[in-house]
Amino acid sequence: MARLNIAKIYLERGQLDSAIDQCRQSILTEPHYAAYEYLAELLMKAGKPEAAEQAYREAIMLAPDVASVRFGLGELLVSQDRATEAIEELEKATALEPGNSALQKRLREVKSARP
């Protein structure tokens, strides 16, 4: 996971493409949900929501019980006006961390904004 640290350094330096490349290299050598999750976040910053969604889904396949991954995918889906799917992911995240008031609040917000 050393490449993820390198990716973070690249991001701090404003080198988004290099950060993405480091994440992808990390995944090739050591597939881990955290690498996919960070890759998804970077891809969103790069304006590539379809690729980010795929990375989140890969992370979920590796770690279906990690709330932050479910939350990230939920937020991505909200940004794409896919409220029904977003609510499903946010509900899963909330179920995984029932004491997380921030997750509960965000779920309520998305539900109330739904047409």
- How is the chain classified by DSSP, letter by letter? -HHHHHHHHHHHTT-HHHHHHHHHHHHHHS--HHHHHHHHHHHHHTT-HHHHHHHHHHHHHH-TT-HHHHHHHHHHHHHTT-HHHHHHHHHHHHHHSTT-HHHHHHHHHHHHH--
* pLDDT tens per residue, range 25-52: 999 999 999 999 999 999 999 999 999 9
Considering the domain architecture, whether residues 47 and 86 belong to the same structural domain is answered as: no
Read off the pTM: 0.93
Number of domains in the chain: 2
Domain membership of residue 58 (yes or no) is no
Q: Which domain holds residue 18?
A: 1-53
Considering the domain architecture, whether residues 45 and 2 belong to the same structural domain is answered as: yes
Considering the domain architecture, whether residues 46 and 70 belong to the same structural domain is answered as: no
Q: With a cut of 70, list the residues of the chain below it in pLDDT.
A: 115
Considering the domain architecture, whether residues 49 and 82 belong to the same structural domain is answered as: no
Considering the domain architecture, whether residues 23 and 71 belong to the same structural domain is answered as: no
Considering the domain architecture, whether residues 43 and 70 belong to the same structural domain is answered as: no
Considering the domain architecture, whether residues 68 and 42 belong to the same structural domain is answered as: no
In the prediction, which pLDDT does 115 show?
67
Considering the domain architecture, whether residues 96 and 48 belong to the same structural domain is answered as: no
Considering the domain architecture, whether residues 69 and 49 belong to the same structural domain is answered as: no
